[in-house]
Chain A
């Protein structure tokens, strides 16, 4: 089955700086790659996603890039703010079988230092 690796596990950046989180996946048939933000005591919130026919997608301060050849995708957050502090998860799905359940990375705890 699919395996998703995520790095780093913890990332501390100064407010206003950029943050980058990287993920790799194992199944070349995967075609959908979402990113979720989870705040303490809440369910994961979808922040951006990308499909395999697109190399990059941007939404205001957040962008995701996908390299299908290398089987890795990254989340970029620019001009970080205190409210960006949370745990971020990458995921992959669409490798067939019809279920399309998500396989998650282990998460990155992003800390924005004031």
Chain B
């Protein structure tokens, strides 16, 4: 498995502001993903963070709203921009090591609990 940390663990923000969430892994990983979990709901994939190139976004999520960086194989950031109360959610990063031809196990961080007022 991998040890994953996220910062901040929680935050309360004002609408119209932006928050950057950090994800740090204790070892190099091939894949890093960002998910959103709205209150009492399931997890929805936001994007795949690609090292050295632009992230790959899922339908309904755009780079202007959720810019992502991945400068190396152990670190990624997700920014929630121009926040509104609807962005109140838990944001989770996950990591995996892609093996040839097969999807690989994903491990999740503890999450960042965001409340937008």
Q: Which residues of A contact B (CB under 8 A)?
A: 1, 31-32, 34, 36, 42-46, 49, 51, 89, 93-94, 99-107
Contact (Cβ within 8 A) B98 A100: yes
Name the interface residues of B5-60: CB closer than 8 Å to any CB of A: 31, 33, 41-45, 48, 56, 58-59
Contact residue among B1, B33, B42, B92 (Cβ-Cβ distance under 8 Å from A106): B42
Contact (Cβ within 8 A) B103 A43: no
- A67 to chain B: closest CB distance in Å? 19
> Which residue from chain A places its CB closest to the CB of B92 in the assembled complex?
A43
For B75-97 the 0/1 string (1 means CB < 8 A from A) is 00000000000000000101010
Chain B: how many interface residues by the 8 Å CB criterion? 27
For residue B110, CB closer than 8 A to chain A, the reply is: yes
Contact residue among B4, B58, B111 (Cβ-Cβ distance under 8 Å from A101): B58
Chain A residues with Cβ below 8 Å from B104 are 32, 100
Contact (Cβ within 8 A) B92 A99: no
A43-B102 in contact given A101-B58, A104-B42, A104-B43 (Cβ < 8 Å): no
Contact residue among B56, B58, B109 (Cβ-Cβ distance under 8 Å from A43): B109
